Amino acid sequence: MDSINLEVLKACAAWIAAGRRCELVTVIKTWGSSPRPEGAMLSICEDGTVIGSVSGGCIEDDLIARVREHGITRTRPEIITYGISADEAHRFGLPCGGTIQLAIEPLSKESGIAELLQSLQRNELVARRLDLMAGTATLGPAASGMSMQVSEAAMTTIHGPRWRLLIIGAGQLSSFLAQIATGMDYHVTVCDPREEYREAWSLDGVEVVHEMPDDFVNARKLDRHTALIALTHDPKLDDLALMEALQSDAFYVGAIGSRLNNAKRRERLKLFDVNDAQLSKLHGPIGMYIGSKTPAEIAISILAEMTAVKNGVPLLEEARIEHAKCALHQQQSLNFCESTS
């Protein structure tokens, strides 16, 4: 599964290679509420076909209508704004007060889209600088933490996996987790020293390594843009990874397991000199409570919690698995007592 922006770039490259005229549309600024964030992209072909999204659909409809009526006639990039007036905001489906500014760039073989895709296939983080006057684009390396920059002269967009997810264990749940996270623009790496699990792995595009988990974590140098999730259910493997990850700058560290197993895990980690402050970073039982049962549902639960942490959104106690299951158990006990009284 590719991220949305990667699908957009692949469509652009295919249309350019086929000799078709197309444009790349990028959200460069928003005011108030907006359906899509800055950096969101859409590609539009000369026949009106679109890939990606920059709004809830109405702006896309307007872009398509203009292309079908007038064709693609731009010869250099143009900045346009939607939603300045209340009437226009309503017309284009923007929330109350919402305004969105777009950069529309006509593409050609000189736009560097094919070269950009080659870099992304190597999991490189790339800065693409577009000269807004000349329409020329240049590529260069980007540093972790860089964000899109726009001036009157140029627009620099950042492409590639700005976030990393390291998964310990190559089981079925890991496969669902890796597939969804890849679509969320994470660079996913799976570590499992057990040969029988690695041989059964069938997800293309996700690297699987056979290192011991502690060596794996140390070699990857976890930073504030990295998450680690331990899923083997084997303390000899999970604990090694968690011990190192909890002493790193990783923004999220989690492990699968029941409330009882989580309590035992925390006691074991203390024996490895993991202090209370570091241990407080551990998410377990992992995920948000959504009543998940299947591996796919559990993966969604985990990624929902991880996304909340990444975005700085505090989780209500009711959403935490440990609290929710305790409350559910108490309610079930109360219902039983009432039914037998």
Q: How far apart are CA 86 and CA 133, in angstroms?
A: 31
Alpha helices in the chain (DSSP H): 4-17, 58-70, 86-91, 113-121, 172-183, 195-199, 213-220, 235-245, 259-271, 276-279, 295-310, 321-340
When pLDDT is cut at 50, 70 and 90, the band that residue 97 belongs to is low
Amino acid making up residue 45: C
Domain boundary among 91, 126, 159: 159
Of the candidates 68, 149, 147, the one whose C-alpha atom is nearest the C-alpha of residue 103 is 149
- Are residue 130 and residue 245 in the same domain, yes or no? no
338 within domain boundaries: no
- Are residue 150 and residue 281 in the same domain, yes or no? no
- Are residue 78 and residue 178 in the same domain, yes or no? no
Tell me the pLDDT tens digit for each residue of 171-181. Answer: 999 999 999 99
When pLDDT is cut at 50, 70 and 90, the band that residue 165 belongs to is very high
CA distances from 289 to 229, 298, 316, 327, 335 (A): 17, 9, 11, 11, 21
329 within domain boundaries: no
How much is the average pLDDT of 68-82? 93
pLDDT the model gives residue 336? 47
333 within domain boundaries: no
Are 5 and 40 in contact by the 8 Å Cβ rule? The answer is yes
Angle, CA 91 vertex, CA 90 and CA 93 arms, to 5°: 65
End-to-end CA distance of the chain: 54
- Are residue 211 and residue 267 in the same domain, yes or no? yes
- Are residue 197 and residue 308 in the same domain, yes or no? yes
- Are residue 226 and residue 304 in the same domain, yes or no? yes
336 within domain boundaries: no
- Are residue 190 and residue 233 in the same domain, yes or no? yes
44 within domain boundaries: yes
- Are residue 98 and residue 217 in the same domain, yes or no? no
Q: How far apart are CA 339 and CA 151, in angstroms?
A: 69
Q: State the CATH number of the domain containing residue 254.
A: 3.40.50.720
Are 30 and 82 in contact by the 8 Å Cβ rule? The answer is no
- Are residue 142 and residue 250 in the same domain, yes or no? no
Domain boundary among 139, 159, 179: 159
Number of domains the chain contains: 2
State pTM to two decimals. Answer: 0.71
The tokens describing 240, both together, are: 């090694």
Residue range(s) defining the domain that contains residue 180:
163-323
CA distances from 142 to 62, 104, 119, 225 (A): 33, 23, 12, 14
When pLDDT is cut at 50, 70 and 90, the band that residue 151 belongs to is very high
Determine what percent of the chain is predicted with pLDDT higher than 90.
Answer: 63
- Are residue 183 and residue 70 in the same domain, yes or no? no
